[in-house]
Structure 1
Amino acid sequence: MGQGTEYTGRYVIALDPSEQESGFNALRSSADIAPVERVRGAAVANAVELLERPNVSVLFEGLAVAIVEVRPEQRHTLVATAEAEASILAAEPERKVHASPITAPQQAPTEFFPAYRSDEDVVTRHSRIEIATSQGPVVEEENTTWGLQAIRATISGMTGRGVKIAVLDTGVDTDHPDLVGCIQETASFVFGETVEDVHGHGTHCIGTAAGPANPQQQPRYGVATEARVLAGKVLNRVGDGTDGQILAGMAWAIDRGARVISLSLGAPVRPGELFPQTYELAAQLALTRGAVIVAAAGNSSLRPGFVAPVERPANCPSILAVASLDKALQTASTSCGGINGQGGEVNIAAPGKVVHSAAVGGGYVTMSGTSMAAPHVAGVLALLSQGNPDASAAELTASLLSGAFPLTQLARDVGVGLLQAP
């Protein structure tokens, strides 16, 4: 296939963890791939420079995933080799990542084009939330946000103390007075940029997942108020990036002991399109290492007339797909639905409309979208992990889903229902 605006020209290769060398030997001998640089442990944080080099393939040994450089005339041979070689589990074109605010489409799209992005659909800057909704009763948010009230985080006995949540996004405002206490470690996987967030999306998501119990200015907006945050920048200052940067961030987070990895980004998929196998294999490996991956379901719908499929990578069977709810606990008009099977289902729903959280510059902002719903789930997973520190990732996931509050909407739109804190 040719290199288009949504692809980088590189390939993502998933390898059998116990046969990584065999897979690379096969690719080297047949497809003449670029020389391989192996990264593991602390070296993962330095992968950004390797990913930027045009004649290097990068293997993340902890994930058994590689980003491979191959000449255009060798791409067909690479794919054929991957299909024939048992030690190569999947080979897929690397997609670009694009992050930008999204508004509801003016009409139902007739074709989807893959592009990652942070997926808030409304950004309204306020220093204080005024709550009123025509869809339901007024919600008082003087002390705590409507989202924390809806998921019962305000009455939970857990705080997420000692649990690590990785938020892979546009970085973080490391000087925000509400967040300086929760950031344990940072890393940028964007060449030429520090982890400092100038976009705003990552800071907002981190605030929702782990903002403090007593912020500089009320209301409280953080779910797991004593969790530790691993802030990884995988999207640049304008919200662009690649699969390689996201996978590098995942490898880093797992190596650092993250119990939860929150991905508020996505790319539209076509009806019937299969989930990305490379992400699924990486997610399966993450689960064996004790990490649950949560991802935004996406904001490509135009309800009630058009419901778009859950986006990638949330459409992977081993990644939790999170839908967005408004204050009346109705499905947000742009929230994607479980149109595709084989992992493309919505797993759970969480507050995502008019969500108040931290903003770049030390203030606050309200945003809307499944991007805002996903970190609510990440925070609750941290609470569950604190309550049962020896639980496996699969057990944490089961506890999360079994504790949801049933809603009247179709499972296609809200999964098991409304997220609930333990």
Structure 2
Amino acid sequence: MVRHNRRAFLKLTGVTIGAAALGAGNVTAEPSDSRFFINLRDVDRSEVPDDIEIIHDLSEADVLVARGDQNRVNGTTVPDVTINRADEGAGAVVSRDGPSADGNSNSHNHDGAPSNSEYQWDKRVQNLNNDLTDKPGGGRSIHDTTTGGGTRIAVVDSGVYAEHPDLVDVVNTELSENVSEDPYDFRPNGAGSHGTHVAGTIAATNSNDGPDGGVLGTAPDTEIVSYRMFSGMEGKQGDGYAAWMKAADIGCDAINYSVGFPFPFVFPEELPILEEYLAIAEQVAAYVRSKGTVIVNSAGNDGLDMGATDPERGEILSLPTEAKGVFGVSATGPIGVGWGDKHSDNEEKWLTGNRLEDPTDSPAFYTNYGKGVDVSAAGGDADLDALNGGVEGAANDLVYSTINTTDDDGNVVAGYGWKAGTSMAAPQVSGAVALVRSLRPDASVEEVESLIQETAADAPGGETYHGAGHLDLKALVKAAQ
């Protein structure tokens, strides 16, 4: 099996940093059309010209998201940042669609086709629920103690398909909203199923009564609030920060933000403007935390050592992961779940013995690491040669969850699929926050984060890849009790 290392790849690309490469929001647009941030700690609100349109008033954090001629505002302003889900590393690193919600899995094992939940190695290794273990009924599971009831998690992403059978009772459709500037609602609008996948990892209920059942989230009794910041494939950072503050204002226990600034937008010595973006992120984060909301962020998929100094470009700053007040999550995953040299024909044995080439807590090939990582969690891994070569079962190493697709007639179809990325690791931690807050409703942000870190387990690669360690739900729930 071949493991691919993007760290070597990135050093060879020699990417030229310029306005077009940055993805900095509308930097090539006409001034009258541009979006930008205003930092009210350096700009007097009364001196903002009347013809500057305020898109999001985040003045509680001393920030405005505006449109107009940026040069007419005296003081600190920086362009809004555009993130494109079509770019490599900006969402899931690899994805594979699976069956529709009313379809059958393809039978390939002696004991019949796997049910949808049998693909959930990420939940099975955490002993989430006895229905997912190799020994049903063999002892207490996480869900015997808590399922996250009484909590609320915001998914700031590409939208959540609330009609999926495993999410239909989970998404609060009244509180959910579209924070982008298009006229549609909070559901996906052209950016794929990223947000739906994330929501399922957090809170899917396994309610599908189809032939192969559904999938189960970490906290199936939490409530999901969907904030869609992506319109088509593009999302604006300013819309994301607006959603952070909205989520905090309605009492969300955590915000899942599987979004980050893209490479090569990580070198402040070349781009001093990054320090201004850092200040804005930290101002918004401080407000959110003051309301009791944990900000869970994916660490990024560029294989970067975020604590390193590039000999040619200087120190690396990965945003918003490295911003003070943001809880960063790196990704781990197995190689060989039900395929390869140690393949088992019995799904109950996919994770037992020595059948895995790499364990489930080993660092994923794409994950950012180092400074800014608070813990690691299951995000999926991949043998790219096998996956792209069509080797049967190779997608099993990715994270399996709820998705939405579109049929030939343009109808939205609920289904299941595999994705890998730090985007898939962050919701594992967001679900864990729901479990903690269900047991300790009055726990502060600092107490929740400390519990997750103090109970995290040692994992291959140590602190460099895992921060305080690898998410351990059993130890976490025991400590939270």
What range is the shorter-chain TM-score in?
0.7 to 0.9
Give the counterpart of 1:388 among 440, 444, 458: 440
* Identical pairs, percent: 23
Q: Which entry has the higher C-alpha Rg, 1 or 2? A: 2
What do the CA deviations read for 1:88-126 (whole angstroms, capped 9, x no partner)?
Answer: xxx4332112223636xxxxxxxxxxxxx3x21111112
Q: Match for residue 346 of structure 1?
A: 373
What do the CA deviations read for 1:357-411 (whole angstroms, capped 9, x no partner)?
Answer: 0011221011010010011100000000001001111111111111111113132
Counterpart contact for 2:266–2:317, Cα < 8 Å: no
Counterpart contact for 2:330–2:465, Cα < 8 Å: yes
Q: Match for residue 194 of structure 2?
A: 201
Report the alpha carbon displacement of residue 153 of structure 1 after superposing the two structures with TM.
2.9
Q: Match for residue 178 of structure 2?
A: 188
Counterpart contact for 1:310–1:337, Cα < 8 Å: no
Distance in 1, Cα, partners of 2:219 & 2:213: 16
Q: Match for residue 341 of structure 2?
A: none
Give the counterpart of 1:126 among 98, 102, 105: 98
Q: Match for residue 351 of structure 2?
A: none
Give ranges in structure 1 of 5+ residues lacking alignment.
Answer: 36-54, 80-90, 104-116, 133-138, 339-343
Report the alpha carbon displacement of residue 57 of structure 1 after superposing the two structures with TM.
5.3
Report the alpha carbon displacement of residue 302 of structure 1 after superposing the two structures with TM.
7.8
Counterpart contact for 1:298–1:310, Cα < 8 Å: no
Q: Match for residue 24 of structure 1?
A: 45
**1:180 corresponds to which letter in structure 2?**
V
What do the CA deviations read for 1:153-206 (whole angstroms, capped 9, x no partner)?
Answer: 332111110100000111111211110100113101122222221511110000
1:253 maps onto 2:247 in alignment: yes
TM-score scaled by length of structure 1:
0.76
**1:357 corresponds to which letter in structure 2?**
S
Distance in 2, Cα, partners of 1:162 & 1:71: 45
Q: Match for residue 458 of structure 2?
A: 406
Q: Which moved more, 1:348-357 or 1:7-16?
A: 7-16
Q: Match for residue 313 of structure 1?
A: 320
**Matched ranges for 1:75-154 at <5 A:** 77-79=74-76, 91-100=77-86, 102=88, 117=90, 119-127=91-99, 143=118, 145-154=120-129
Distance in 2, Cα, partners of 1:221 & 1:307: 41
What do the CA deviations read for 1:310-344 (whole angstroms, capped 9, x no partner)?
Answer: 73212212111111101212111110122xxxxx4
SS in 2 for 1:7: coil
Distance in 1, Cα, partners of 2:309 & 2:169: 40
Give the counterpart of 2:37 among 12, 26, 47: 12
SS in 1 for 2:231: coil
Q: Match for residue 40 of structure 1?
A: none
Distance in 1, Cα, partners of 2:93 & 2:201: 17
**1:158 corresponds to which letter in structure 2?**
T
What do the CA deviations read for 1:111-161 (whole angstroms, capped 9, x no partner)?
Answer: xxxxxx3x211111123889x9xxxxxx99854711113334332111110
Distance 1:302 1:284, change over 3 A: closer
Counterpart contact for 2:156–2:227, Cα < 8 Å: yes
Give the counterpart of 2:427 among 369, 375, 382: 375
Distance in 2, Cα, partners of 1:100 & 1:400: 32
Give ranges in structure 2 of 5+ residues lacking alignment.
Answer: 1-17, 27-33, 109-113, 130-140, 269-273, 311-315, 335-358, 381-397, 405-412
SS in 2 for 1:301: coil
Distance in 2, Cα, partners of 1:219 & 1:176: 10
Counterpart contact for 2:295–2:326, Cα < 8 Å: yes
Q: Match for residue 399 of structure 2?
A: 355
Report the alpha carbon displacement of residue 71 of structure 1 after superposing the two structures with TM.
2.1
Distance in 1, Cα, partners of 2:19 & 2:304: 30
TM-score scaled by length of structure 2:
0.67
> In angstroms, what is the RMSD of aligned CA positions?
3.1
